[in-house]
């Protein structure tokens, strides 16, 4: 069973915000203290792109096809996950945490997994594929405890 021990770091993130927290109590009554918050400004693609997607000529006379435009908003989400993995590496390398629980939206968790250095992955005790970044800390505490308890019971 995975327990949220005293001193365990919890990182709760979506594609634009990350909360770095430390559990200052135990698993039975978690109390997460916010250490740091990272926020990325990520306006919609329509506000980020300089021009519209182009068109290209097809094989037939006078035929043209639209080309798919760049989704700047999605690229920024992936860049944020990559930046977060770098921050976690720096903190792990400095020995700032010994155990880590990552709570992230499934898509972001996938990018993080691909980007995280082994120094960080060796410290991960649990991954929770849910977006909890918009919740208040007291609710995050309850949700994480519930998720970890469910993992331990095999559900």
The pLDDT tens digits for 34-43 are 999 988 664 4
Which domains can be identified in the chain, with CATH numbers? 9-40+71-152 (3.30.420.60)
Task: Please give the radius of gyration of the chain, using alpha carbons only, rounded to the nearest integer.
Answer: 20
Predicted confidence at residue 107, as pLDDT, reads: 86
Could you tell me the two tokens for 15? 């594609």
For helices 72-93 and 106-115, give the axis angle rounded to 10 degrees: 50
| pTM exceeding 0.85 | no
pLDDT tens string 9-31: 999 998 789 999 999 999 999 99
Rounded to an integer, what distance in angstroms lies between the CA atom of residue 155 and that of residue 147? Answer: 9
Tell how many helices (H) and how many strands (E) occur in the chain: 5, 7
């Amino acid at each position: 069973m995975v327990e949220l021990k005293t001193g365990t770091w919890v990182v709760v993130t979506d594609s634009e915000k990350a909360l770095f927290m430390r559990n200052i109590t135990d698993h039975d009554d978690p109390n997460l203290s916010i250490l740091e918050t990272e926020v990325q400004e990520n306006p919609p693609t329509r506000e980020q792109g300089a021009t519209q997607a182009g068109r290209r000529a097809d094989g037939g006379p006078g035929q043209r096809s639209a080309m798919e435009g760049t989704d700047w908003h999605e690229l920024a989400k992936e860049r944020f996950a990559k930046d977060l993995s770098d921050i976690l590496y720096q903190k792990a390398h400095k020995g700032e945490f010994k155990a880590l629980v990552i709570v992230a939206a499934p898509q972001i968790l996938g990018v993080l997994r691909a980007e995280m250095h082994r120094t960080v992955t060796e410290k991960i005790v649990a991954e929770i594929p849910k977006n909890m970044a918009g919740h208040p800390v007291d609710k995050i505490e309850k949700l994480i405890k519930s998720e970890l308890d469910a993992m331990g019971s095999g559900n």
